[in-house]
Structure 1
């Protein structure tokens, strides 16, 4: 169980917004540990069933076939069975926590940055990259005008109080056409622009 716990601790130590490299080796070791516990469980199950059958046969020979026999009559094997079964459940819970937390952080990236930064992409497994791409396509399709609701839901994590906003231009960008007219974005100038149209430029570092 320590290996699986270390995976969760690794994410916790990195911080709530960080995505450390996917620990493929540690995940593999945890899965191997689960397989080993599972194999031991199968062996113990066979031993318990065999002992139960032998005890029932003994009782039948003595004319006590009505006496019930349970696995509790074999405390050593039953205790070992419970320990291995509990270890499997614990490892699975911790492994799923690791996977789910990484998935949630990857999902937040799509909402906050829209694309997958290269420095973060190299920390993801191939399955995680494929999941991000699929999720991104589904979200984009849902927000498109022709196939979805026609609204960019990633603009604000919380509903804005005002549809327009004051912005300051951080670098020369030239003339840009907005719904309220064309505006020349010159470094240092300030403008009152529609929030939905200004937000992409804010993300690009223009405003």
Structure 2
């Protein structure tokens, strides 16, 4: 049945948890590409046959016309399925840059094909270039904060740390009220601080 392989790719997307990826299914993807080539060849052959018989392609309604229509519509459906598969994976890959950072863990990288890895590197490079040019870190607050200061608990001894215009001693289990931008690097990258959502 036409387009069954292409629909298999979309079923994989649907079965996956939102924001997660399965391994890129290159076998089925390549099969769908080959099927597109076969549909195109059949479509072109049927159109040529009608032209050779001096039939008007616009008005003739015979078996060749309907055969060409089936191949053309199947080709379009396969293309839409391939584009949906790639677009949804690309959206998830873009979201990884904001959620995880510029370096993907090995378990995610092994799920990407070569072009997706290049896409992620290119996307990360564009963000880094923009952040550098504008001198603003877009990765700090994905949701605008209600307050520029946050309450944090120190999980590991860090010692004396210089934060902007002052220094603070970050000892284990101590509580602090810090600027979000100062604390973010210790929360997201090395997990030395815990953001407390309750009052101190």
TM-score w.r.t. structure 1 length?
Answer: 0.87
Deviations 1:71-129 (A, max 9, x none): 54342111111110000111001100110111111111101111212110111011111
Q: CA RMSD in A?
A: 1.4
Whole-Å separation in 2 of the counterparts to 1:102 and 1:165: 34
Quote the residue 1:119 is aligned against.
Answer: 107
Aligned to 1:139: 127
Shift of 1:183: 1.8
Aligned residue-pair number? 189
Kindly indicate whether residue 136 of structure 2 is the aligned counterpart of residue 151 of structure 1.
Answer: yes
5+ long unaligned stretches in structure 1 = 56-68
Cα distance per residue 1:22-50 (max 9 Å; x no partner):
11111100100000101101110111111
Q: Note the 1:21-36 alignment, pairs <5 A.
A: 21-36=23-38
Equivalence for 1:181 = 166
For 1:12 and 1:173, the matched residues in 2 are separated by 44
- Give structure 2 stretches of 5+ with no counterpart: 194-200
Match among 73, 77, 98 for residue 86 of structure 1:
73
Q: Is the 8 A contact 1:174 1:186 kept in 2?
A: yes
Say if 1:142 and 1:71 are closer, same or farther in 2 by CA, change over 3 A.
closer
| Structure 2 counterpart SS, 1:73 | coil
Radius of gyration: which is bigger?
1
Q: Report the Cα distance in structure 2 between the residues aligned to 1:142 and 1:172, rounded to whole angstroms.
A: 34
Alignment CA distance shift 1:100-1:92 (3 Å): same
How big is the shift at 1:155? 1.1
Q: 1:123 to 1:70 in 2, by over 3 A?
A: closer
Spell out the pairing of 1:1-207 with structure 2 (5 A cutoff): 1-51=3-53, 53=54, 69-114=56-101, 115-144=103-132, 148-203=133-188, 204-207=190-193
